[in-house]
Structure 1
Amino acid sequence: MVRYAEPGTVEWVESGGGPLIAVPETVLPFWTGADGEETASDYDRACEVDGLVGLLPVGDSTALVLGDEPAATAFLPEHNTLVRCIAGHSEAEVLASVPAALHTAQWQAEVHWKVPGALLLFDAAWPGTESTGTDHLRLTLTPGRYAVRAAQVQPGPETWLALVQLRPLP
């Protein structure tokens, strides 16, 4: 994606081709990425997620997998939404389309996720202990339960997004 917006306005993270994963910082050492010694690595488990989102156990917590296809992803805290750019001419165009896209999205069934606090979003192939040395985003969320819903939207003729909204539950 070509970026034309003011530099530093929004931070984006990308993967090397596989899924992104949001792992609670408290359990980062338990995410082994593609380096696992078991028959199926943690990365393999993340790749098996079918659909736009899925939850995987990590240590004594749960991580959120952003499945489907690799896409540049940003977190917009004002919307509590991860925006995944599948296609778009510019960052400014993509970001400007988000409010309308949220309003018109046909949401898939939501999942409930217990978040213990801050999360790190990074390429699922990386071990959690090495995630800060690569392309990553830190998401600061209030600890609690969240409803996670996802949708693919086409807010413009040549703009395609996947949205993942995190709504706090009472």
Structure 2
Amino acid sequence: MESSGGPLIAVPEAVLPFWAGADGDETSSDHDRACDIDGYVGLLPVGDTRALVLGDEPAATAYLPEHGTFVRRHAADAEAGSLADVPAALEAAVWGPEMEWRVPGPVVLFDAARPGSASRQADHIRVDLTPGHYRVRAAYVSTGPETWLGLVRVRPLTS
């Protein structure tokens, strides 16, 4: 999936109605808050939980459940080639700082400019996460001369 130019956001289904996107009466919209995230990934309060913002720049994004990873294609000759590069990219990744994300259940990834109530009427990805605490880390990896992938790994936090 792709955004219309801003960040993508993974909002827990339980709080989708609380995400106003670019709409709203406040001086700073939810979309503005998402745009203020510095770096590849960040967390924002939404309702009584937090949403995961995939920051940096707009990029075509897929979720690969077998790797527990959002894969963002920043530059690649072909989509099939970039997805085939994921195992090597995960192996070569130099991961950024870890953050903890408490998730109440499945999340929906969509363009942060859209309100949560309209998220399923456009391009979106539903990710079935089990309620619990997750470790989130991001990396930016080159797997070839013209292939750059952003990786956001979401792994259950074990005791």
User: Structure 1: which 4+ aligned runs deviate by more than 4 Å?
Assistant: none
SS at match of 2:67: coil
- Of 74, 94, 98, the residue aligned with 2:62 is 74
- Of 149, 152, 155, the residue aligned with 1:164 is 152
Equivalent residues, number: 158
User: 1:8-157 counterparts in 2 under 5 A?
Assistant: 13-157=1-145
% identical aligned pairs: 67
* 1:142 shift after superposition: 1.1
Residue-by-residue CA offset, 1:115-156 (whole Å, 9 max, x unaligned): 111100000000000010111000001111000000000011
* 1:79 shift after superposition: 0.2
Residue-by-residue CA offset, 1:64-112 (whole Å, 9 max, x unaligned): 0000000000000000000000011112110110001000101000110
Q: Which runs of 5+ in 1 are unaligned?
A: 1-12
Q: Which runs of 5+ in 2 are unaligned?
A: none
TM-score (norm 1): 0.92
Residue-by-residue CA offset, 1:31-51 (whole Å, 9 max, x unaligned): 000001111000000000000
> What is the root-mean-square deviation of aligned Cα atoms in Å?
0.5
SS at match of 1:70: coil
Aligned-partner Cα distance in 1 for 2:85–2:49 = 34
